Amino acid sequence: MNRKFRPGAVIIVTLACLYFLVPLYATFQFSLQMRRGELSFDAYRSVLSSDVFLRAFTYSVVASIAAIIVGVLLIAPTAYWVRLRLPKLRPLVEFLSFLPLIIPAVVLVFGQIRLFGSSSILPLTTTEIGTNTLVVAGYVVISLPYMYRAIDNGMAAIDISTLTEAAESLGASRLRTIATVILPNLRSAIVSGAFLTFSISLGEFVIASLLNRPAFGPYLVQLGEDRAYEPAALAILSFALTWVLMGVMQAFALRKPNQRWLRRRTSAAGKSST
Amino acid sequence: MSQLTLRSVFKSFGATAVVRDFKLTMRDGEFLSLLGPSGCGKTTVLRMVAGFESPSAGQIEIDGRDVTHLRPAQRNIGMMFQAYALFPNMTVGENVAFGLKVKGVGRDEREARVADMLRLIGLPDLGARYPFQLSGGQQQRVALARALAPQPKVLLLDEPLSALDAKVRVSLRTEIRQIQQEMGITTIFVTHDQEEAMSISDRIVVMNGGVADQIGTPFEIYNRPTTRFVANFVGTLNTFEVKVVDPALGRVTLADQPLTLSDRPLGARAGDTLSIALRPEALRLGRSDAHETTLPARIDDVHFMGSVIRLRAMMAGVPVSLDTFNRPDVPPPVPGSMVEVSLSGHEAIVLNG
Ligand SMILES: Nc1ncnc2c1ncn2[C@@H]1O[C@H](COP(=O)(O)OP(=O)(O)O)[C@@H](O)[C@H]1O
Ligand SMILES: [Mg+2]
């Protein structure tokens, strides 16, 4: 391996780091300046003690978790079935899963409002529960590309049809096969998809705003118009949350199947060799 | 432990007929190989027995019970795949226990059985390992143990050795055969490797284009192939054109020398030409009183293979292979030299179609 010092490479990496870190540092610096003449966490205190913030944040967390559950229940069986029984349809399904990246969220929401508006057969927008349902459905759609990809990649890593057939030849029902063989092997993929869905949905603005729900995204924008230091503090907080989630995701992705979170000592583990 | 019967099984995918009129009766504890080139329908037959494909026509019976329309999980079969079939999220022990757990076997009995199975495959200490910590050969042994643990009626193996390297392949096939005999389990083994099939099977089905060309013991398949395809696919074959002299007595001539076929060319008339085949070991180097005819041949190539030496030569206008045993006191002929080769009509195989 050639490990020579390369000035060009170092300059590029440094520039890239600066590009990301300088704004972040500037925002952080600014968020600490709420009290005149000294650095303080007042802006953070102000944000975290605000009822409106807590309500908006809770709303978005709940909506995101709902979107994760619906997304996994919808996408995992679909991807499984397509791989197992309809492999010819995979390119089509893959294309469909990409559509939310091409079609803007605004189009999606106007579609929802037209289809489920007050004058439609199923006027979901007239009730709070109905509108919340539309928000969650919207989140499922915008996170579809990421969730589908995560789960489908997870399935590509194992031989889904051979494992299914092996389990069935041993007498397992389809349900048991999915629960004890397929899902456990997809766990890290599903966790990745879940975290991606979470971070996309949490700060989502267009859907929540157009459907007029008190979500975190619209709150952020509103705050940005009204206040100076609090938005900076919130931006830093969101950033930190995202990084924590990324870290957890990495930990799941890198985990070997024999590593339990709580290390249970198995008697013969690793003792023997061939 | 069980008999398996396939009654005129057909299978088509769309308009393509993949298996045609497949008939088979297996006795208790028999080890049968499905042998044939890639794409001839071996896997499809096996998957129909397992229940992963359903026949377009025909019946499959296990112990006299029609299982044609049962799901795989209801058939009580054990299956072993080419590779990557162990459950990656489970230890070796949990993999082997899976079928027992599904059946509702209690914990104590389960653990005892798993220990037995791991001992049987020679990996008694690896129960706590995960599949990714095992070599390919070890993984396949665990797959065998997992398939056998619930004591299935029929064991189905689809080219289980083809992903392994040559040495492991040879030792593991012997081991599979030993375990099969020990447990007395009725087994179908799919392979495209004729040597593999020959060495471990009670009987072999040679398949060609979805049809069972011939069913017989390795001895019968090798020495009395009934079709040209079987003769060519199994072992090496030297084919000659002979002229019929007297069909009733089996008299023919090869390069004007007389031969008497014990395999009578039915339907042939005097003056017809006929194809016959002789295995390399039926051609004897040198003049011999025990043989009917001697022909001259020119040696082209000498392959020293240890106890056997294979010679390639031109004889009666066609290239032939012949085997001779190595004798330390007699050096083999050199390429380019002229030799005499003895042969007999009663060792010839008459090829029809
Ligand atoms: N699910 C399927 N759909 C369409 N054709 C298939 C399917 N499975 C197998 N075939 C075709 O059937 C033929 C026999 O396949 P297979 O039984 O796998 O052969 P082998 O195991 O002897 O190599 C092949 O031509 C293959 O392309
Ligand atoms: Mg095959």
Structure confidence by residue, pLDDT tens digits, A137-163: 999 999 999 999 999 999 998 889 999
- Separation of alpha carbons A101 and A184, rounded Å: 29
Judged against a pLDDT cut of 70, whether residue B353 lies above it is answered with no
Identity of the amino acid at B345: G
Domains of chain A: 44-256 (1.10.3720.10)
| Residue A127 Ramachandran class (φ > 0 left, ψ -120 to 50 alpha, else beta) | beta
Ligand 1 centroid to Cα of residue B44, in Å, is 6
Q: CA geometry: angle at A124 spanning A123 and A127, to 5°?
A: 105
CB contact under 8 A, A165 and B81: yes
Q: How would residue B237 be classed by pLDDT, with cut points 50, 70 and 90?
A: confident
The CA-atom distances, in angstroms, between B345 and each of B42, B151, B278, B279 are 35, 49, 9, 12
Comparing A263 with B328, the larger pLDDT belongs to B328
Residue B134: how many CB atoms within 10 A of its CB?
18
Backbone angles phi, psi at A29, to 5 degrees: -55, -45
CA distance B186 to B160: 16
Euclidean distance between CA atoms B338 and B330, whole angstroms: 16
Closest-CA residue, ligand 1 atom 1, reads B13
Average pLDDT score over residue span B209-235: 90
Q: Pocket residues for ligand 1 (CB within 6 Å)?
A: B 13, 18, 36, 38-44
Of A18-22, A209-213, B101-105, B262-266, least confident by mean pLDDT is: B262-266
pLDDT at B212: 94
More confident residue, A274 or B129: B129
Tokens of A26: 């500037």
What count of residues does chain A have? 274
Q: 10 Å Cβ neighbour count for A223?
A: 19
Q: Whose CA is closest to A197, among A72, A91, A85?
A: A72
* Count of residues making up chain B: 353
Average pLDDT of the residues in B284-313: 91
| B38 touching A (Cβ < 8 Å) | no
Residues in chain A closer than 8 A to B133 (CB atoms): 258
Identify the residue with better confidence: A4 or B279.
Answer: B279
Q: Which residues pair with B339 in a beta bridge?
A: B297
What is the reported pLDDT for A187? 86
- What would the mean pLDDT of B18-22 be, rounded to a whole number? 95
The mean predicted confidence, pLDDT, of chain B is 92
Question: Can you tell me the distance from the alpha carbon of B339 to that of B286, in angstroms, rounded to the nearest whole number?
Answer: 7
Enumerate the residues of chain A whose CB falls inside 8 A of the CB of residue B81. 162, 165-166
The rounded Cα A144 to chain-centroid distance in angstroms is 10
The pLDDT of residue A270 is 39
Structure confidence at residue B262 (pLDDT): 86
Quick one: average pLDDT of B84-97? 94
- Is the model's pLDDT at B320 over the cut of 80? yes
Interior angle at CA B286, CA B284 and CA B289, nearest 5: 80
Q: Give the percent of chain B with pLDDT over 90.
A: 74
Interchain pair B98, A170: CB under 8 A: yes
Query: Which of B72, B89, B123 lies at the smallest CB-CB distance from A169?
Result: B72
Q: Which two tokens stand for residue A261?
A: 């979170």
CA–CA distance, A264 with A262 (Å, rounded to integer): 6
Written as one letter, the residue type at B1 is M
Q: Provide the 8-state DSSP code for B245.
A: E
Contact check, Cβ <8 Å, B73/A185: no
- The whole-angstrom separation of Cα A163 and Cα B84 is 8
Indicate the pairing of strand B186-191 with strand B154-158. Answer: parallel
Cβ atoms B48, B9 nearer than 8 A: yes
Cβ neighbours, 10 Å, residue A170: 28
pLDDT for residue B211 is more than 90: yes
Q: Which ligand gives the minimal distance to the CA of B158?
A: 2
Helix H or strand E segment including B296: strand B293-304
Average pLDDT for B263-284: 86
HEC profile of B202-224:
CEEEEEECCEEEEEECHHHHHHC
- Chain B, 5 to 34: residues with Cβ < 8 Å from chain A are none
Residue A259 has pLDDT above 70, yes or no: no
Residue type at A146 in one-letter notation: Y
A114-136: pLDDT as tens digits: 889 888 888 888 888 999 999 99
Q: Are B81 and B136 in contact (CB under 8 A)?
A: no
- Is the pTM value of this prediction over 0.90? no
CB atoms < 10 A from the CB of A133, how many? 17
Average pLDDT, chain A: 86
Provide the Cα torsion B143, B145, B151, B157; round to 10°: 40
pLDDT, position A273: 37
pLDDT at A261 over 50: no
Least confident segment among A71-75, A244-248, B316-320: A244-248
Position A271 pLDDT exceeds 80: no
- Say if B325 is an interface residue toward chain A (CB within 8 Å): no
Which of A162, A173, A256 has its CB closest to that of B73?
A173
At B75, which amino acid appears?
R
* Among the bound ligands, the one closest to the CA of A84: 1
Using CA atoms, how far apart are residues A215 and A221, in angstroms rounded to an integer?
11
Name the residue facing A257 among B76, B103, B130 (closest C-beta): B130
Q: How far apart are CA B304 and CA B332, in angstroms?
A: 9
> Per the CB < 8 Å rule, is B125 touching A167?
no
Put simply, whether B103 touches A (Cβ < 8 Å) is yes
Q: What is the pLDDT of residues A218-258, one digit of tens each?
A: 998 888 888 888 889 988 988 888 888 888 877 876 665 54
Listed in sequence order, the residues at least 6 apart from A197 whose beta carbon sits closer than 8 Å to its beta carbon are A64, A67, A68, A71, A139, A143, A146, A147
Among candidate residues B160, B159, B130, B124, the one with its CA nearest the CA of residue B144: B160
Contact assignment for B85 to A184 by CB distance below 8 Å: no
pLDDT confidence tier of residue B87, bands split at 50, 70 and 90: very high
What tokens does B148 get?
Answer: 């056998």
Sign of CA pseudo-dihedral B288, B344, B242, B321: negative
In the prediction, which pLDDT does B271 show? 87
pLDDT digits (tens, 9 = 90+) for B37-63: 999 999 999 999 999 999 999 999 999
Contacts of A177 (CB under 8 A, 6+ apart): A163, A164, A167, A168
Q: How confident is the model at residue B268 (pLDDT cuts 50, 70, 90)?
A: confident
Nearest to B268 by CA among B280, B282, B252: B252
Tokens, residue B242:
């002979």
Contact A169 B147 (CB under 8 A): yes
Q: Minimum mean pLDDT among A149-153, A205-209, B53-57, B233-237: which range?
A: B233-237
Using pLDDT thresholds of 50, 70 and 90, give the confidence band for residue A63.
Answer: very high
Q: Which residues of B touch A266 (CB under 8 A)?
A: 91, 128
Structure token pair of residue A15: 């520039």
Structure confidence at residue B199 (pLDDT): 94
d(CA A203, CA B119): 57
Q: What gap in Å lies between CA A173 and CA A177, rounded to an integer? A: 6
| Residue bearing tokens 């009725």 | B186
C-alpha to C-alpha distance for B191 and B170, rounded to whole angstroms = 13
Q: What is the pLDDT of residue A3?
A: 65
Using CB atoms, pick whichever of A171, A181, A266 lies closest to residue B73: A171
C-alpha span between B13 and B56 (Å, rounded): 9
Residue B143 has pLDDT above 70, yes or no: yes
pLDDT for B263? 79
